[in-house]
Structure 1
Amino acid sequence: MDNNAYLLTCRASGEQLLVDAAAEASRLVTLVGEGGGGLGLVVTTHGHADHHGALAEVVAATGAATAAGAPDIALLPIPSDRALHHGDTLTVGETVLDVIALRGHTPGSVALVHTEPADAQAAGSVPGRRHVLTGDSLFPGGVGSTQGDAARFTQLLDDVTERLFDRFGDDTWIYPGHGADTTLGAERPQLRAWRARGW
């Protein structure tokens, strides 16, 4: 499947953050330019090549800093400016994103969580609602691949359950590294079935 790349822009400052410079560097650079605020950081959700194929070109064109989960940094094509750990935060202008480690698909897989602010006034906003960029750790219909490794699958499903489903409400939006988005509410009834099937 094609990869998803996400560009977040702080409405107050115009500062931008790109999640997964997967491919098509020229298209991503054009998208960044249309946002107008300047790309400050590129976060790579995990070390698989299909999620960082355009990373070096995007950084060279924009001068953006880079960040990734600490255990996956050695898998990236260029050095990372920041090693991410569970519980860290990232700032995009006036917007704060929480870093959640979701181990299993890779050792250093991370998700980013945006919580809509209490004073959010944009049309359609819901104060307190969360939006989670999950890379390849959570999709509609299941967690990411662990290549048949039972221990890695258990680790990933435990992390996804404890760090996402147990913490956040059903209105939380999930934006995966491939395919369509979903909500925790849509996926929650399937958790037991995922564990039973083992993938």
Structure 2
Amino acid sequence: MPGLGHVEPGGPPLVTALSDTVTLTKISVGPMDNNAYLLRAGGQPGAGVLIDAADDPERLTTVIGSEQPAVIVTTHRHGDHWQALAELARSSQAQLVCGRPDVDAIATGAWVEGLVGVWDGDVIALGDESLDVIGLVGHTPGSIALAYRGGPVPHLFSGDSLFPGGPGKTGSAADFATLMDDLEHKVFAEFDDQTVVHPGHGDDTVLGQERPQLPTWRARGW
């Protein structure tokens, strides 16, 4: 049975109102079922934010239409999250943003210039509103999540750091421990159970569904 915020690989986008002013378009792109998210601030042309120009630049261009985003955010350095970044950067004047420790890897891999590194405490403008940046070390050194708090419930765009059923893949026990620490302190301790999590692949979840599993994740080590 399809889960929360389900989109089919290669299928049509899903459009959702996050607040009275902000809409979200979610689309699955590429062979790894990557989610790309387009946030638009109503009535403010050119104020949008695209999260993960992952693949299928033609489909993303169709979703974007004539109203180019002001910012393109890459949640982390893994190549399946930036395959369309260079092409979309060339066709727009968008500012390119990623987590500070992943700047060099993304710039080199995607062949893009002018990447701006962000981390805890930074904000990304979304029209008259903003997205809060949260650094989550573990899946990669510079993975980030983005939080939108302007609607009835918070929305967290977690990249590959948090999914339904657990944290993202890590390469060592130390990386797993770091990611779990960041998730517990920066996400679960700061956001309520109604917070919707929009991951880098697959369906969405809510923190209240995941919170009881934290001890299980710790115990199993992944």
| 1:68–1:80 contact (8 Å) kept in structure 2 | no
Q: Which residue of 1 aligns with 2:168?
A: 144
Shift >3 Å, 4+ stretches:
none
> 1:81 is matched with which residue: 115, 129, 135?
115
Q: Which residue of 1 aligns with 2:68?
A: 38
Task: Say whether 1:22 aligns with 2:54.
Answer: yes
- Report which stretch shifted further, 57-66 or 151-160: 57-66
What are the residue-to-residue correspondences of 1:17-166 with 2, within 5 Å? 17-33=49-65, 36-76=66-106, 77=110, 78-117=112-151, 126=152, 129-147=153-171, 149-166=172-189
d(CA) in 1 for partners of 2:68, 2:55: 19
> 1:189 is matched with which residue: 198, 205, 212?
212
Work out the number of aligned pairs and report it: 186
Letter in 1 for 2:34: N
d(CA) in 2 for partners of 1:74, 1:176: 23
d(CA) in 2 for partners of 1:57, 1:146: 29
Letter in 2 for 1:104: G
For structure 2, which runs of at least 5 residues remain unmatched after alignment?
A: 1-31
Letter in 1 for 2:73: V
SS of 1:68 mapped into structure 2 = strand
For structure 1, which runs of at least 5 residues remain unmatched after alignment?
A: 118-125
SS of 1:83 mapped into structure 2 = strand
Q: Displacement, 1:61?
A: 1.3
TM-score by length of 2: 0.81
Q: Displacement, 1:46?
A: 0.2
TM-score by length of 1: 0.90
| 1:2–1:178 contact (8 Å) kept in structure 2 | yes
How big is each residue's C-alpha offset from its partner over 1:70-101, in whole Å with a ceiling of 9 and x where there is no partner? 11011112124311111101101112110000
| 1:140–1:187 contact (8 Å) kept in structure 2 | yes
Q: Displacement, 1:30?
A: 1.3
What is the root-mean-square deviation of aligned Cα atoms in Å?
1.1
Identity of aligned residues (%): 47
